[in-house]
Structure 1
Amino acid sequence: MEEYQVQAENFLKNETQFRLGFLSSEASNPITAHLDSDFGQSTETGVKTLFRCDAALESVLRKALADSRFAEMREAFSETLRNGGKIVFSGCGATGRLAILLEALWIDRVKGTGREPQVRSIMTGGDYALIRAVEFYEDHAEFGRRQAAAENLRKGDVLVGITATGETASILGTVLEAAERGAKVFLLICVEKEIPMQRLERCRSAYAHPNVTVLDMPCGGMAITGSTRMQSTTLEMVVTCAALEEAAFGKTVSYADAFAELAGTLSGGVCPASIARAVELETGTYSEKGFVTYFSEDFLLDILTDTTERTPTFMLPAFRKNDDTVSPVSWAFVKNPSCSTPEAWKRCLRREPRCLDWKERDFREMGAEEILRNGIPETGAAELLKFPIGREAAPERCSGKKDVAFRIGVDRLPEMDVSAYPATRSVLLGKQSEESDFSVPFNRLETPLKLFEHLAVKLVMNVLSTGTMVKMGRVTGNSMTCLNVSNKKLVDRGIRLISEQCGLPYEEACMELFRGMALCKGTGDSPVRSTILRLKGNGRIS
């Protein structure tokens, strides 16, 4: 038996807790069932289809905000802040980036008051994972426990775990660690809580703890199947921010009405056509081997989040470190050229980076020796600073005739020198202006943490990046066939995609994926896509 067959058999036998096709968040969204065809009809049609998925969240949001568990979370926030405790948001991947954003928005609002440490974030893998997911970290509850323990949570504090699927092991680890230390814990999920409780042991133990309140907000499938960076993270962003604003600043408004107005504005008027033109420009840039670099100040973290999430979702080259001359250049990148890279990271995060510098003994103590097979992961602050998001020159990004610099802002465009780039474009959200190349006007509710400005940037960037990838042929129907299987959840998703696309039983699709992983090792190709093409090309399936 070959090694890939042994690995496939092991996954089928020992990783049944990561077979997640039964979760509603993994289902196909009927609105986007023919997304590739919609974009084939016209880019604007595809853009409108994507925004319809966001607008459909309104009813789920109204129900969540009216739920007694939301009120309980808001009151817990209020009591904690009033008594000098702290609120810690915990997430992984897209929700980890959301946790970091929530901390940044809080620091922006209370800077200089001494209240900055009252809101904190835990990202599975530390801040380094903002750029690159650290392979298989999310599969280990002990990793989450250790990160939560470092926060010294205790009675009087609150931890909010954010996981769309409700089952991410590392987040559940933070939940249990905080609960056992006496903190109040809220777990925000986007599936019916009974489903993972019935099927997954790790969920039963966390959900049943007396200090844990689960707020389930089932919202169905994502616009791109399984891509929880989209609708579920949008929903979680509004709910967490609404609770924090109401608790800390006494803001009492209809967040659901404000969301509905924003979603309606983005999907109508001049916005879809403007965003469609941006999609076409970005698609053309990549098709002709050019690179895109986004420039921003206040919204650099939001744009960085969308840009880095493209790598696992669509199997694109990851951000490249400044001492790496071998890896391919990332298609998209972000910069703040007004300052050096160390300062740009501080401005982006609104604080010094918090990275993990775990040693070999740490992994052994946590029972994760398998992580060490490829050496100790380098995830410290020094490694994060190797991603040059500051003023440092980037000749590899601006020496080609098709390279483009995008300046992006809300209400005003950032004043930045982008003269080194052969082409420059601007995207202005908020105010309508003839000075920008792509105008996305919208009215929004003014809130203390500027929720709706940041939400608008998220929604627009999600549509821009997703639409571009659809037009680049990296989506079939509404499935992301160019998938990077960097954790067990994604291995399962890849198996299900192969099964659906090729008409194979799950077990056979699993064997074929692990074979594909062996064949693609070191190539940078998606083992899911290459497996589907291989199976369809050799006549085994029609």
Structure 2
Amino acid sequence: MSETSLKRSEDFLKVADQFKLGVLVTEASHPVTAELSQTAKKSIPDALRLLFEVDFDVINKYREWSQSDAPRRVADTLRDRLKNGGNVYFTGCGSTGRLSIQLASIWRDFWQKQRAKGLKTTPSTEDWENRAHSVMAGGDFALIKSVEGFEDFTQFGCKQIGDAGLNDKDTVFAITEGGETSFVIGTAWEGVKRGAKVYFVYNNPDDILCEHVKRSRDIIQEPKVETINLTTGPMAITGSTRMQATTIQLSVMLTILEMVLRDLLPEMGLDSNAVTAEFTTNLEAMHSTLLSKQVCDEVAELVAMEEQVYRTDHKNNYFAYRIGVDVLTDTTERSPTYCTPPFRKYDDTGAAESWAFLYVPFDKTEDAWNWILKKEPQCVEWSEDEVRELVGDESFAQTYEVIKKISRRELMRFKIGKDGIRYRPLGPGDSAVGIAIEEEKDMLLSPEGFQRSQLEAAKAAGANTGIIYFGGKDSIYEVGESIKQWDPEAAAALVPVPQTDFLLNGVTRVGAKMLLNALSTCTMVRLGRVMGNYMIWLVASNLKLIDRSTRYICKLTGLPYEKANQLLFEVVEYVEPRMKADQKYPPIVGVSIMRAKYNLTNEQAEAKLMEQIG
């Protein structure tokens, strides 16, 4: 063991008690998926059904929350503060950071549509549009690629939301799956300091958080903070809070925003008091559809297609429009969760090719990013003095190196517009998947439509094709008949969605998230990146994930915590050069397990693991 890796382990163990989170419900193994990897080997549809079954926990929690006085109380408060000139801030880190960006994007998109229709309001539709803001750890850059280290610093959260101009008229929804994320807690405290109305949204029981995590106890027990506890239970994949935890948060936040919009626009004739009951009924129907044999069988074809593409070292391109931010969120999250190559910048030829990428129908990448975010990107671009003041001299150099890599200029190197397609040409062995909802069905029906034209080009180049479509029964039939004419061999999941009056199309957004989560998760399970329902390919990129990685090594090898952590950092040191260069690298936890079980060197452990995975 090198002195460097030993010191890193010692430094972590000094603060480990603050980040030992194995007692949290979100870190527990879900009994429904305990043998998920074994099931997936035998039957992809059965594995998908198990994943969707865990989403019953989301339905049950939503029903419980919707029947309380919380929806009306929170919606009234937010509505009144917005009417008084305030803004709303959604803050988060990792999955909840992407959720915060998605929520602000959905709000802005609604008002942009109303303005396009000629709606006149006081304040103006443009004013209302600009009331919603997201504060993600690492800025908008982190939507497409995880930013190392931001999650662990309360002061980073304070600064990012402070820089956004937060004041006492505003409302803050500080959203953290586990309820313990330092960055998010920092945004909440800054909200309290500035006199804003602060809601703390999280997914673990109060008693467990308050007993074991001091920073959580302090914010939960703060009288000026109102809590929204959305505990659903363990995740379908142990610790993977991008799944049920974030799904219930999306459901609840869209409900609150829907109620507020109906109150702000009474001329639309929609009753805000009817939202929770309507959402419950339609969410149950959406979930039943996802559990159906037909949908599971159709999604299984997509899983099999993507598995083959990735297993043979090929690539997949997604083409989306209206729900581009939803697709981007799921695609980005695969990298830190399952150790897949992150999105690659168009000119970074030294980095590993991304397994999957997203394109939206705009000629220029700058316009594509503005579409995804519904605004100009806001990236973290702090000066040297600002960084030094935040972290001190000891951590300055490392932190500033991170800051330099997450600027707006760097974000634009991820070419998600049509100008980037030429950098990822598809051919035999590759795949293309078009994703659409009903309001954009012409993009699948018309030969000139973005999704259809890209799929036909991919097919002509010898690539496999797939389609995911969410719509009413009539449009499902229409799209299905059309696909039979121009791409009968495509793997198509045509998903019926309930027809509702929701201004934000909330149930479809939640259903799309559930399906995309299940698709990507099941694919990774099939690729050997999950053991039972444990992620053995997770990336130990922050203190919480270092603890999680250490616990998994303990569980799967029997090593004591300290020894497991030392081993982890040895393997991190071995793998890190490839990680930093965005090259392919083996799973740190998996290599650690092989080393401990068979008394191997790093090189031997990597070779044995890859041989077992195939």
Equivalent in the alignment of 2:232? 219
Q: CA deviation at 1:75?
A: 1.7
In the alignment, is residue 62 of structure 1 matched against residue 86 of structure 2? no
- Say if 1:398 and 1:63 are closer, same or farther in 2 by CA, change over 3 A: same
Moved more, 346-355 or 168-177: 346-355
Equivalent in the alignment of 2:612? none
In the alignment, is residue 376 of structure 1 matched against residue 401 of structure 2? yes
**Which structure 2 residues correspond to residues 154-303 of structure 1 after superposition, within 5 A?**
154-250=167-263, 251=272, 252-253=274-275, 254=277, 255-303=279-327
The partner residue of 2:136 within 123, 131, 151 is 123
Q: CA deviation at 1:441?
A: 2.3
Moved more, 518-527 or 50-59: 518-527
Question: Is the 8 Å Cα contact of residues 96 and 176 (structure 2) preserved in structure 1?
Answer: yes
Secondary structure in 2 matching 1:81: helix
- Say if 1:383 and 1:217 are closer, same or farther in 2 by CA, change over 3 A: same
Q: CA deviation at 1:214?
A: 1.1
- Cα deviations across residues 148-172 of structure 1 (Å, max 9, x unaligned)? 1123222221100111100100000
Q: Structure 1 counterpart of 2:346, which letter?
A: N
Distance 1:154 1:539 in 2: 57
Q: CA deviation at 1:14?
A: 2.4
Q: Structure 2 counterpart of 1:456, which letter?
A: G
- Cα deviations across residues 290-326 of structure 1 (Å, max 9, x unaligned)? 1000001111111010000000000000111122110
Secondary structure in 2 matching 1:15: helix
Equivalent in the alignment of 1:440? 494
In the alignment, is residue 425 of structure 1 matched against residue 459 of structure 2? no
Equivalent in the alignment of 1:507? 562
Secondary structure in 2 matching 1:398: coil
Q: CA deviation at 1:528?
A: 1.2
Q: CA deviation at 1:7?
A: 1.6
Equivalent in the alignment of 2:165? 152
Question: Is the 8 Å Cα contact of residues 27 and 226 (structure 1) preserved in structure 2?
Answer: yes
Question: Is the 8 Å Cα contact of residues 138 and 169 (structure 1) preserved in structure 2?
Answer: yes
Equivalent in the alignment of 2:3? 2
Equivalent in the alignment of 2:541? 486
Equivalent in the alignment of 1:476? 531
- Say if 1:171 and 1:318 are closer, same or farther in 2 by CA, change over 3 A: same
Equivalent in the alignment of 1:91? 92
Distance 1:68 1:505 in 2: 46
Distance 1:374 1:96 in 2: 20
Distance 2:323 2:332 in 1: 14
Question: Is the 8 Å Cα contact of residues 8 and 569 (structure 2) preserved in structure 1?
Answer: yes
- Cα deviations across residues 419-472 of structure 1 (Å, max 9, x unaligned)? 155323322222424234413322323311111222122111111100100111
Secondary structure in 1 matching 2:172: strand
Matched pairs, number: 541
Secondary structure in 1 matching 2:256: helix
Secondary structure in 2 matching 1:281: helix
- Cα deviations across residues 51-80 of structure 1 (Å, max 9, x unaligned)? 001123222111222333443322211111
Question: Is the 8 Å Cα contact of residues 189 and 215 (structure 1) preserved in structure 2?
Answer: yes
Distance 1:70 1:499 in 2: 42
Moved more, 208-217 or 391-400: 391-400
- Say if 1:329 and 1:9 are closer, same or farther in 2 by CA, change over 3 A: same
- Cα deviations across residues 129-156 of structure 1 (Å, max 9, x unaligned)? 0011111101000000011112322222
Secondary structure in 1 matching 2:534: coil
Q: Structure 1 counterpart of 2:356, which letter?
A: A
Distance 1:155 1:198 in 2: 31
Secondary structure in 2 matching 1:376: helix
Q: CA deviation at 1:396?
A: 5.2
Q: Structure 1 counterpart of 2:332, which letter?
A: T
Bigger-Rg structure (1/2): 2
Identical residues among aligned pairs (%): 34
- Say if 1:410 and 1:358 are closer, same or farther in 2 by CA, change over 3 A: same
Q: CA deviation at 1:269?
A: 4.1
Distance 1:124 1:277 in 2: 36
Q: Structure 1 counterpart of 2:467, which letter?
A: S
In the alignment, is residue 463 of structure 1 matched against residue 503 of structure 2? no
Question: Is the 8 Å Cα contact of residues 483 and 528 (structure 1) preserved in structure 2?
Answer: yes
Q: CA deviation at 1:413?
A: 6.0
Question: Is the 8 Å Cα contact of residues 413 and 426 (structure 1) preserved in structure 2?
Answer: no
Q: CA deviation at 1:399?
A: 4.6
Kindly report structure 1 stretches of 4+ aligned residues shifted beyond 6 Å. Answer: none
Moved more, 206-215 or 490-499: 206-215
Gaps of 5+ in 2: 116-124, 264-271, 444-448, 484-489, 579-584, 606-614
Q: CA deviation at 1:400?
A: 3.9
Secondary structure in 2 matching 1:226: coil
- Say if 1:270 and 1:519 are closer, same or farther in 2 by CA, change over 3 A: same
Q: CA deviation at 1:362?
A: 1.5
Question: Is the 8 Å Cα contact of residues 160 and 186 (structure 1) preserved in structure 2?
Answer: yes
Secondary structure in 2 matching 1:224: coil
Q: Structure 1 counterpart of 2:226, which letter?
A: T
Question: Is the 8 Å Cα contact of residues 16 and 547 (structure 2) preserved in structure 1?
Answer: no
In the alignment, is residue 401 of structure 1 matched against residue 425 of structure 2? no
Equivalent in the alignment of 2:486? none
Q: CA deviation at 1:211?
A: 1.8
Q: CA deviation at 1:173?
A: 0.4
Q: CA deviation at 1:4?
A: 1.2
- Cα deviations across residues 243-283 of structure 1 (Å, max 9, x unaligned)? 11112214323122221111111111411100011100111
Distance 1:362 1:132 in 2: 23
- Say if 1:396 and 1:322 are closer, same or farther in 2 by CA, change over 3 A: closer
Question: Is the 8 Å Cα contact of residues 470 and 497 (structure 2) preserved in structure 1?
Answer: no
Question: Is the 8 Å Cα contact of residues 138 and 170 (structure 1) preserved in structure 2?
Answer: yes
Distance 2:219 2:70 in 1: 17
Distance 1:74 1:530 in 2: 49
Equivalent in the alignment of 1:140? 153
Equivalent in the alignment of 1:349? 373
Equivalent in the alignment of 1:537? 598
Moved more, 387-396 or 176-185: 387-396
Question: Is the 8 Å Cα contact of residues 594 and 600 (structure 2) preserved in structure 1?
Answer: no
Secondary structure in 1 matching 2:577: coil
- Cα deviations across residues 461-492 of structure 1 (Å, max 9, x unaligned)? 11110010011111100011011111000000
Secondary structure in 2 matching 1:249: helix
- Say if 1:396 and 1:342 are closer, same or farther in 2 by CA, change over 3 A: closer
**Which structure 2 residues correspond to residues 317-332 of structure 1 after superposition, within 5 A?**
317-332=341-356
Distance 2:169 2:600 in 1: 63
Q: Structure 1 counterpart of 2:401, which letter?
A: I
Distance 1:220 1:370 in 2: 37
Distance 2:540 2:103 in 1: 28
Distance 1:267 1:387 in 2: 35
Question: Is the 8 Å Cα contact of residues 360 and 372 (structure 1) preserved in structure 2?
Answer: no
- Say if 1:240 and 1:399 are closer, same or farther in 2 by CA, change over 3 A: closer
Equivalent in the alignment of 1:391? 418
Equivalent in the alignment of 2:120? none
Distance 2:90 2:426 in 1: 41
Question: Is the 8 Å Cα contact of residues 359 and 421 (structure 2) preserved in structure 1?
Answer: no
Secondary structure in 2 matching 1:14: helix
Question: Is the 8 Å Cα contact of residues 342 and 354 (structure 2) preserved in structure 1?
Answer: yes
Distance 2:255 2:389 in 1: 39
Q: CA deviation at 1:123?
A: 0.7
Distance 1:271 1:57 in 2: 19
What is the TM-score normalised by the length of structure 1?
0.96
In the alignment, is residue 525 of structure 1 matched against residue 525 of structure 2? no
Question: Is the 8 Å Cα contact of residues 387 and 399 (structure 2) preserved in structure 1?
Answer: no
Q: CA deviation at 1:338?
A: 3.6
RMSD, aligned α-carbons: 1.8
Q: CA deviation at 1:81?
A: 2.0
Q: Structure 2 counterpart of 1:82, which letter?
A: K
Question: Is the 8 Å Cα contact of residues 398 and 422 (structure 1) preserved in structure 2?
Answer: no
- Say if 1:517 and 1:347 are closer, same or farther in 2 by CA, change over 3 A: same
Equivalent in the alignment of 1:307? 331
